[in-house]
């Protein structure tokens, strides 16, 4: 889980996100201003970038609480 504001300060991260979008590996959960992104890996090794308007702290809280399992 990455904060969109701080993580995208790096050119490497911006390049990674641009490539993920170009390759069709990016999923925008909603069309609002993004606050975070989550990188997941499938069993075949391909990754997916989920872009969310939910803050990293809220997402981490949900993970710790077991919400969404």
Residue positions counted in the chain: 69
Give the per-residue pLDDT at 69: 53
Contact 33, 8 (CB under 8 A): no
Summarised one tens digit per residue, pLDDT across range 10-66 is 999 999 999 999 999 999 988 889 999 999 999 999 999 999 999 999 999 988 888
Cα gap 48→43, rounded to integer Å = 11
Q: Which residue has the higher pLDDT, 68 or 64?
A: 64
Give the per-residue pLDDT at 30: 86
Give the per-residue pLDDT at 68: 56
Residue 48, helix vs strand vs coil: strand
Give the per-residue pLDDT at 22: 97
Question: Does the pLDDT at position 67 exceed 80?
Answer: no
């Amino acid at each position: 889980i990455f904060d969109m504001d701080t993580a995208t300060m790096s050119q490497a991260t911006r390049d990674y996100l641009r490539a993920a979008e170009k390759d069709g590996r990016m999923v925008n959960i909603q069309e609002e201003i993004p606050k975070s992104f989550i990188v997941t890996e499938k069993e075949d090794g391909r990754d997916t970038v989920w872009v969310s308007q939910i803050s990293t702290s809220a997402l981490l809280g949900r993970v710790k609480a077991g919400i969404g399992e």
